[in-house]
Structure 1
């Protein structure tokens, strides 16, 4: 395992509306917070703290097929699919997992028949408190194919849309997931965009707690510091994190510097986790990727 394979293990967190939804969901605002990547057979999204995938499986829409889906996604056999009044043809499976003493992860799987021998699965995962209104809105948007093309990125990275600002990065960087970009030896960051600061803070706190409790490493030091983030003063939690893999195997430093930020950016509320190894380019200040969005306040 190389050290650039280790970071994702630590940091990756991989319409016909009812009346209530139509009144309270601003589709344009939600889609502006969404990032999508299409790969062969599967489409991935990140929207407001939800990691979402869409994938079709060869399976019958009956108990036998449901058991196949449950096995595929490690869902307890005792969990039964239930009807959802919003989607008359669909079924829903829900499981929860305690990631830490403080963080509960929710996984929601919507199942829809595709002909007689295929099931479309729309899976949603979050460590925030569930927003069922947002879930149903996004599932309906997927089914109706109403998600705008502007949310999608090519796997070949040239630039990224960071909270409404396009940043040119060039070919040195690659997507580790939706809203998760890595530039080897130059830094990595993942982020989510929200309509409320409370949701942003909830997510960044969960990310810190999950990373801090991973068996693969330990937090050596943590401090709250002042930074300039996208041109505005705010605070970040800065941690020094040691990965329990020898440097010889890592191929370099096994110490990560990680910054956790939740703040307002251009009318959005952003959660961002930025990291770099202590031997990355310009590591004594900020590596190039991190320097694109933040500055250390002297």
Structure 2
């Protein structure tokens, strides 16, 4: 006769696999997902959601979890919960922050017991929390279901921009997944979305975050006609003033104002949200844009 513990283990594995299948049927997000691996963690981006996965050689007990929680500045007083839908021993910490009346930055940490290690998967995004997706992604990680082709090189000699390869050379660097900076030539970050409405919402959210950012102020905001990846559209243009502000960001750039463009469009059958920016002391060409931004956008007269 099969032991109760063995039966429980088999049932848990079945539930996990079944969950992954059910979620995958509802939404195949892999074609919108991209990931970069560094020496300590894996970083993902999809639908405007930034995800980090990191493993620790710790056991899932109160003593050994202390150093894990300390790495994420999770304190003993922070409320921990569990998700009854997840078939794995775990804790959930919700460190979401209300930025404005209509803007909440969600940061959710899942502390997961992988028996021989503890894995922390965090989700960060500024729209309605998507618990269904969080469960789906964790189930896919547990089942090793993330396709290998979503992982890109940590170098940025070239990159896939919504189905088109951009050759950038060796002067650029990843700031995060789908977030590339070329010193003195601009910066851009983008996400692929299931719907164009979600892409537009992501741009609106990024703009709200900019407006509520401490340490500077928006001095101009306007809509401008542009050609983005060969398609005529409208971008929201914002100038952010850092005059008199002392911060690491300003110190590294040496600039005083930051010009930012927010664009949401359907490009080559993909719904993309894109935020492009440059400092006033970047190498700005006659087009009014630095070289990186010129790769994907032109300003219309």
- When normalised by structure 1's length, the TM-score is 0.85
Q: In 2, Cα distance between the equivalents of 1:265 and 1:32?
A: 14
Show the counterpart of 2:258. Answer: 256
- Kept in 1, the 8 Å contact 2:217–2:240? The answer is yes
In the TM superposition, residue 283 of structure 1 has moved relative to its aligned partner by: 4.8
Q: Secondary structure at the match of 1:145?
A: coil
Q: Secondary structure at the match of 1:289?
A: helix
1:65 to 1:79, Cα distance in 2 relative to 1, 3 A:
farther
1:174 to 1:250, Cα distance in 2 relative to 1, 3 A:
closer
Q: In 1, Cα distance between the equivalents of 2:90 and 2:252?
A: 46
Q: In 1, Cα distance between the equivalents of 2:284 and 2:143?
A: 47
1:62 to 1:180, Cα distance in 2 relative to 1, 3 A:
same
1:84 to 1:166, Cα distance in 2 relative to 1, 3 A:
farther
* More RCO (CA 8 Å, sep 6+): 1
Compare 91-100 and 263-272 and name the one that shifted more: 91-100
Q: Does 1:184 align with 2:183?
A: yes
Show the counterpart of 2:237. Answer: 238
Show the counterpart of 1:6. Answer: none
Show the counterpart of 1:104. Answer: 104
Q: In 2, Cα distance between the equivalents of 1:86 and 1:109?
A: 14
Q: Does 1:16 align with 2:23?
A: no
- Which sections of structure 2, spanning at least 5 residues, go unmatched? 1-15
Q: In 2, Cα distance between the equivalents of 1:50 and 1:251?
A: 26
Structure 1 vs Structure 2 CA RMSD:
2.3
Task: Spell out, residue by residue over 1:250-273, the C-alpha distance to the aligned partner (whole angstroms, 9 max, x if none).
Answer: 664311111011121122211111
In the TM superposition, residue 181 of structure 1 has moved relative to its aligned partner by: 0.2
In the TM superposition, residue 32 of structure 1 has moved relative to its aligned partner by: 2.1
Q: In 1, Cα distance between the equivalents of 2:149 and 2:40?
A: 20
Q: In 1, Cα distance between the equivalents of 2:269 and 2:130?
A: 21
Compare 87-96 and 152-161 and name the one that shifted more: 87-96
Q: Secondary structure at the match of 2:264?
A: strand
- When normalised by structure 2's length, the TM-score is 0.85
In the TM superposition, residue 31 of structure 1 has moved relative to its aligned partner by: 1.8
Q: In 1, Cα distance between the equivalents of 2:131 and 2:229?
A: 31
Q: Does 1:215 align with 2:218?
A: no
Task: Spell out, residue by residue over 1:184-205, the C-alpha distance to the aligned partner (whole angstroms, 9 max, x if none).
Answer: 1111001111011221122111
1:17 to 1:95, Cα distance in 2 relative to 1, 3 A:
farther
Q: In 2, Cα distance between the equivalents of 1:182 and 1:190?
A: 9
In the TM superposition, residue 86 of structure 1 has moved relative to its aligned partner by: 3.2
1:125 to 1:246, Cα distance in 2 relative to 1, 3 A:
closer
Show the counterpart of 1:277. Answer: 279
1:291 to 1:59, Cα distance in 2 relative to 1, 3 A:
same
1:17 to 1:183, Cα distance in 2 relative to 1, 3 A:
farther
- Kept in 1, the 8 Å contact 2:258–2:277? The answer is yes
| Residue 289 of structure 2, aligned match among 283, 286, 294 | 286
Show the counterpart of 1:3. Answer: none
1:135 to 1:231, Cα distance in 2 relative to 1, 3 A:
same
1:33 to 1:237, Cα distance in 2 relative to 1, 3 A:
same
Number of aligned residue pairs: give it: 280
- Which sections of structure 1, spanning at least 5 residues, go unmatched? 1-14
In the TM superposition, residue 81 of structure 1 has moved relative to its aligned partner by: 2.9
- Kept in 1, the 8 Å contact 2:219–2:241? The answer is yes
Task: Spell out, residue by residue over 1:63-103, the C-alpha distance to the aligned partner (whole angstroms, 9 max, x if none).
Answer: 44555544432335241231432323333332321123331
